[in-house]
Every structure is written in structure tokens, then in C-alpha cells.
Amino acid sequence: MVTTTVIADLCIFLLTWNVGTHSPRNQELTSLLALNGTSTCPGNQLPDIYVIGMQEVSNKLKIFQDDPWVFKIADALQGHEYVKVESKQLQGILVAMFAQHKHIPHMKNIETEATRTGLGGLWGNKGAVSIRMSLYGTGVVFVCSHLAAHDDKLKERIEDYHQIVDNHKYIAQGYRRIFDHDFVFWFGDLNFRLSGDMSAWDVRTDVENSRFEDLLKLDQLNLLREKGNAFSLLEEQQPNFAPTFKFVEGTNDYDLKRRPAWCDRILHRVQTNVYPGIVLSANQLSYQSHSDYTLSDHKPVSATFNYKVESSNQTYTDEELHEMTHGAASTPAAPNVSLTFAFILFVAVPYFQL
């Protein structure tokens, strides 16, 4: 008889949003962060962990002060027992993690990394930031990226992806690169558009008639993954929502200066059976855009995952699993946590658009 022991059973909420340099001043985030009873986590519980990625955060540089988006998110999470675990910023690209306080002792070997790709890597208006760690003994990395824009820049987006994969490097033993990790979550404004020569008006008509499946056959990201040119090691639940770009700001009307496209995406990868007697899984519970948010020309996109670590016929603690996965030689780095109502790090920088 097989005996299964659950080492970790977490609900992780991922969010990506290109905010178009806008201030969060009048934004209400309760709905966006599923704090209003709309959580898709099991039992309608709040997520154990939030990982939030943003692109095109304002270019008003702040010294010794957090970005206004940080304070806004912190304020929204205040009172729900979350602390800031880590954040990383590269110009206008930001990733920040918040977790319920009870999970902090189970986070070790925390590192951040950044790779510039925009303007030949000189400016950093495009690229990626990431947070990696040992989470309940497993190696996980969260990558937030902003890739080259415009329909005709597919080659540059592919190059950006490979540059990020090649240049992102970590110290943790056994997890030097992104795809060395047991769990990979990659999200952001990936800027992939539709192949072919459909007009913006024809695309909008298909969207209005919910012909998403037909349009997604033209989606550059799907085609790339099929060919193995980029992102082929990752999985994506196919979007069942309208393209998230490009909108007239303040409305739900497409700006037909650009063809509507699914620029904002969330992908993941799990190495399911890499350790004897250990089963890893990340069942996706939701994937949605948030059309009520009209701040920028992009819609926010979120996803929730059931992050699970189980052992079969053996009893492991996550400390023992950490020794197995990260090795005794690795030096655990304790999270530099802060109360969510105190401060958090988000990015601010000029960008060259879209």
C-alpha cells in the first residue's frame, strides 16, 4: 500500500501587468488581488504566496523610498498576514513576492537576478528580473520579463528569450540556471503578436465573436513553442479571454493602431519526478484577464497554481528535502522580510514603446 505524505500544499497567485508608467493613485486593487471573496484557491482561501510582475513602471526614480505601486499593493495586503519576501527591479520591470508569515521559515537560498536586453542591453528598458529560492525544499524560480515590442520584432523577442536564459545565473548549488529549477514560472509582457496579415478590424471582429481558438492558431508564442524556437520547455494553459493589448486607456475599446494580441502571458514548468519518492506538481487553477482595470493599454493577467510537494512511502521534512535538493554545501539565506504595510520594492523607469 502506497503511503503519501504532503510536504507542501500551497496556492500561489501570479499577476502580470504593464501599467504604462501610470501612478496607482486612484487604483483599487482588492478585486485584482482576489481579496474580495473571488479567490480561485481551494476552499476560496486567500493565496499562500503572491508574486507580482509589472512592466513600464513610472520613470520617477526614488532614492531610499519605495515606488508608489509598492505602497499601494502593501496597503491592499495589509491585515491579511502577508510580508514582503523579496523584490527585484530593472528600470521599468519589477517582480515582488509576498507570503503569509507562516511560510517564511520554509524559504531559503533566496536570490534575485536581472538581465538587460533592450537597446543591446545598454539601457534595460527590456529584459527580465527574477526571484529564486528553496521553497519547502524544492527549487523554484519566478521570472518576469518584458520582451521586444511590435509585430515585426519576432526575431528580437526570440533573441531576448535566449539572452535571458543564457545570462540569468544563480549561486545555489544545483540551480545555477533558470531551467535547473524544479518549478519555473515565467510571466510578463512577452509582446508576442499574431502572425499573418489579418487587419486589426478583422481581429477585433473575431474577438467580439469569441473566436479565440482560431486566433490563437496564429499566436506567435504558440507557434514558437511548437517549433522549439523559444519557451518550448514551458507549458501554458491556453487563454480563454480576449487579447490583452492594445486598448484605449480608460476604456475596454481596442486601439486599432495595433492589432489586438495576447501580449501578457503566464507559463510554467515542473520537473515532476526528479527525486526518488518525491512527487512535484503545479496544477493550474485559473488563468484570466481583468477587464475592469483600464489604467493602461494592457489588461492585467493573473493565474493561480496549486504548488504541491508529496513523498511516497517515505517521510521527509522539507528540511531533509532541502538537504537533498540544495546540498549541505549551500548556505541558506534567510528572507529579508518586511511587513507589507511598511515597504516593498517596485520599479520605475523610462521605456521605449510599443
* 157 CA to centre of own chain: 17
Is it the case that residue 1 has pLDDT exceeding 80?
Answer: no
Strand 4-18 with 49-55, pairing: parallel
pLDDT at 124: 60
Helix extents (H) in 138-248: 154-167, 200-208, 212-216, 220-227
Helix axes 220-227, 154-167, angle to 10 degrees: 60
Name the grid cell of 265. 502571458
Least reliable range by pLDDT among 32-36, 92-96, 310-314, 331-335: 331-335
Burial of residue 122, with CB atoms counted within 10 A of its CB: 0-12 exposed, 13-18 middle, 19 or more buried: exposed
CB 161 within 8 A of CB 147: yes
Grid cell listed for 282: 503545479
**Cell numbers representing residue 252 in the block:** 475596454
SS3 state at 336 = coil
Q: Calculate the CA 255 to chain-centre distance.
A: 25
State the DSSP code for 45: P
Smallest CA-to-CA distance from 114 within 53, 158, 200, 203 is with 53
Q: What confidence score (pLDDT) does residue 260 get?
A: 98
**pLDDT tens by residue, 309-339:** 999 867 788 898 999 898 754 444 556 655 4
CB contact set of 197 (below 8 Å; sequence gap of 6+): none
- Say how many Å lie between the first and final Cα of the chain, rounded: 57
* Whole-structure pTM value: 0.92
Rounded to an integer, the average pLDDT of 90-110 is 94
C-alpha–C-alpha distance, residues 132 and 183, integer Å = 10
Q: Is 173 exposed, middle or buried (0-12, 13-18, 19+ CB in 10 A)?
A: middle
Query: What average pLDDT is seen over the chain?
Result: 90
pLDDT tier, 83 (very low <50, low <70, confident <90, very high otherwise)? very high
CB of 179 within 8 A of CB of 269? yes
pLDDT tens digits for 206-244?
999 999 999 999 999 999 999 999 999 999 999 999 999
Local structure of residue 219 (DSSP, 8 states) = B
Confidence band (pLDDT; 50, 70, 90) for 79? confident
Concatenated DSSP letters of 250-272: TSS-B-TTS--B--EEEEEEE-T
Identify the residue with better confidence: 101 or 122.
101
pLDDT bracket for residue 122 (50, 70, 90):
low
- The pLDDT score that the predictor gives to residue 64 is 54
β-strand 264-270 against 278-289: which pairing, if any?
A: unpaired
H or E element, residue 73: helix 68-77
3-state secondary structure of 225: helix
The answer to whether the beta carbons of residues 128 and 161 sit under 8 Å apart is no
Residue 217 has which C-alpha cell?
Answer: 492558431
